[in-house]
Structure 1
Amino acid sequence: WSNNNKGTYATVFKGRSKLTENLVALKEIRLEHEEGAPCTAIREVSLLKNLKHANIVTLHDIIHTERSLTLVFEYLDSDLKQYLDNCGNLMCMNNVKIFMFQLLRGLSYCHKRKILHRDLKPQNLLINDKGELKLADFGLARAKSVPTKTYSNEVVTLWYRPPEVLLGTTEYSTPIDMWGVGCILFEMATGRPMFPGSTVKEELHLVFRLIGTPTEDSWPGISNNDEFRSYMFSQYRPQPLINHVPRLDSEGIDMLTALLLYDTRTRVSAEASLRHPYFLSLGENIHSLVDSKTHTQMYLTSVMC
């Protein structure tokens, strides 16, 4: 067994099931350490137990002892961050589209069930050798506040966090995940993170510099936000995204723009994104897939970029 990853309040091991001989990922959550951990963990379990979808990592089993809770997940050997690294950060654009479609399928399934992911980032998108992409790590799926440090003291990244969360909203709804989807689309298409800020102020600055400083027009109510006013940002004009993502076609740029809208009421949903013209080239039968199946093998140009 190897310990390969310390998460928010958990350690992840790789193991093998004696029953099936399949590899599994064991997420061990210690119950004695942190006040909030057990209830967050138990919430995560009850959420995941009910999620059965080809683009969401499967929770096989739960082992509950006095001192720990161990979640037995299907094992996937890579994630989108590693995949990008292996590509030398130059993914083939058809694969970008296929991964994007799978991400949106998994998210749409969650959102229909009123479940938010809240921590979308390339490390939480697992990929297997068939090129199937699966959402993982719903550790923050229900927590009201988002911690700044993980259990093992790593800094929680701000790069994929929407501006309304950076500015202190607690009125969470499904659009909070869609901003991160846009950031991930940009990263797959360019090979670099879209807004790699290390503080909240720097993160907002990077967003405003590219998307434009929000106005009452682009973000109704923003001028009443005390936190926004206190930063006193310069008035940046929005830049054409195509200049920053030259490899993305016009439909892709259109979708990216719709994902990165400040007004959460107009930011595109996962369900609507799946029907975006950007995906037309994948053919009509991708919409008739049942939840439990992916046919990505038909479309992946090559499993490695």
Structure 2
Amino acid sequence: MDEYEYLKKIGEGSYGTVHKCRKSVNGEIVAIKTILFYDYEGVPRSVMRETNLLKQMDHPNIVKLLEVLTANNKVSLVLEYADYDLQKFILSDPANTRDPHFIKRLLHDILSGVQYCHRNRIIHRDLKLENLLINSQDKIVKLADFGLSRTIDTPLGPLTKQVGNLNHMAPEALLGSAQYSTPIDIWAVGCMFVEIVTHQDLFAGFSSSILLAKIARTIGTPDEQIWPGVTAMFPPNVMRQQFPPKDFAEIAPGLEPAGINLLSRMLRWNPSERITAAEALAHEYFDGIQPRT
């Protein structure tokens, strides 16, 4: 690690630590994510998964893995550096981040990264504003933190139940399904869309049943016509009360009609009815927005 100068710690969590660093040979600023492990454990599976996926991916809206360093029971991922995660960026400049064109640009970047993942049979599974990176100069959003991501098998095998950020978890995952697929990422993008527009969480709760009830109060209680088989899956206490769907203009005040339509197609109970990332990018809401190159 002598080839890098540590400048400051920029993040810490159960995964390890992230430092802003400078490469000695050329002065390049990078982020180094370091994870410690014990000999008897070996390199954590999440780290191996994230490393392998990032090595495969090359897209302007996906964070780049520059190299992997291992030494003394630790592995370090050297990543391209970004000034902020998207949550901190929005909090740092709340007025300008409410600009309608800027919101479109942010969401287009997010969906472009998600579409690339889905096209390559990757589900992110932990999409939240804290896992999206942005630089203050070019303002390009990049998907990061692929430790919980999975590739989709053919045929689709069972996946881990209830992964990622609970507040962005799709109904099928909250209900304990192990057969979910790419639509869970679209649900998370819909939740973030509202957060970007309103600067507030759409759904927040400490348990699956609380969140399912909040979703029902927002987009209406599901029935067999909306989502065949839902009655058997749902907790009886949630299904007992029948809530009508709110107007999506009430859910995201100030969002233009085309954006309301797009949001309504993301936040649907039935995963098979949700818009895909590719379809979303072709939506009229993004007319005039060009892909990053």
- In structure 2, how many angstroms separate the alpha carbons of the residues matched to 1:214 and 1:159? 19
Q: Deviations over 1:225-269 (max 9, x none)?
A: 1x5336554211111111232211111000000000111111111
**TM, length-normalised to structure 2:** 0.88
Give the structure 2 partner of residue 10 of structure 1.
16
1:25 maps to which of 23, 31, 34: 31
**Alignment partner, residue 156 of structure 2:** none
Is residue 135 from structure 1 mapped to residue 143 from structure 2 by the alignment?
A: yes
Aligned residue in 1 for 2:245: 238
Aligned to 1:173: 181
Separation in structure 2 between the aligned mates of residue 147 and residue 203 of structure 1, nearest angstrom: 12
2:207 to 199, 202, 213: 199
Contact 1:222–1:228 (CA<8 Å) still a contact in 2? no
Change in 2 beyond 3 A, CA 1:36/1:253: farther
Q: Is the Cα contact below 8 Å between 1:216 and 1:223 reproduced in 2?
A: yes
Structure 1 segment 126-275 matched on structure 2, within 5 A:
126-129=133-136, 130-142=138-150, 144-145=159-160, 157-225=165-233, 227-229=234-236, 231-275=238-282
C-alpha distance 35-222 of structure 1, shift in aligned 2 (>3 A):
farther
Work out whether 1:111 is the aligned partner of 2:118. Answer: yes
More strand as a share of residues: 2
The residue aligned with 1:297 is none
Q: Secondary structure at the match of 2:44?
A: helix
Match in the other structure for 1:301: none
Structure 2 residue aligned with 1:296: none
Say which of 70, 74, 80 aligns to 1:74: 80
Q: Which amino acid aligns with 2:169?
A: R
Match of 2:3 in 1: none
Equivalent residue number for residue 65 of structure 1: 71
Are 1:118 and 1:176, in contact at CA under 8 Å, matched by a contact in 2?
yes
Residues in 1 aligned to 2:261 and 2:112: alpha-carbon distance in whole angstroms: 19
Q: Percent identical across equivalent pairs?
A: 36
2:49–2:146 CA contact under 8 A, matched in 1: no
Alignment-mate amino acid for residue 245 of structure 2: P
Give the equivalent residue in structure 2 for 1:87.
Answer: 93
Query: Aligned to 1:254, what secondary structure does the other structure show?
Result: helix
Instruction: Tell me, yes or no, if the aligned pair for 1:122 and 1:184 is still in contact at 8 Å.
Output: yes
Cα distance in 2 for partners of 1:66, 1:190 equals 45
Cα RMSD (Å): 2.1
Stretch of structure 1 that moved more, 19-28 or 180-189: 19-28
- State the Cα deviation string for residues 207-228 of structure 1 (Å, max 9, x = none): 1100011111111111121x53
Name the SS for the 2:66 alignment partner: strand
> Structure 1 6/33 Cα, relative in aligned 2: closer, same or farther at 3 Å?
farther
Deviation larger for 77-86 or 27-36:
27-36
Going from structure 1 to structure 2, the CA distance change for 1:14 and 1:255 (only over 3 Å counts) comes to: same
Identify unmatched segments of 5+ residues in structure 1.
Answer: 149-155, 294-305
Amino acid at match of 1:120: L
Alignment CA distance shift 1:147-1:240 (3 Å): closer
Q: Quick one: structure 1 residues 33 and 142, their matched pair in 2 at CA, closer, same or farther if it must change by over 3 Å?
A: farther
**Contact 1:210 1:238 survives alignment (8 Å):** yes
Contact 1:205 1:233 in 2 (8 A): no
Secondary structure in 2 matching 1:265: helix
CA–CA distance in 2 between the matches of 1:93 and 1:86? 17
Q: Confirm or deny that 1:49 pairs with 2:55.
A: yes
Structure 2 CA distance for aligned equivalents of residues 34 and 3 of structure 1 = 28
How much does 1:57 deviate? 0.5
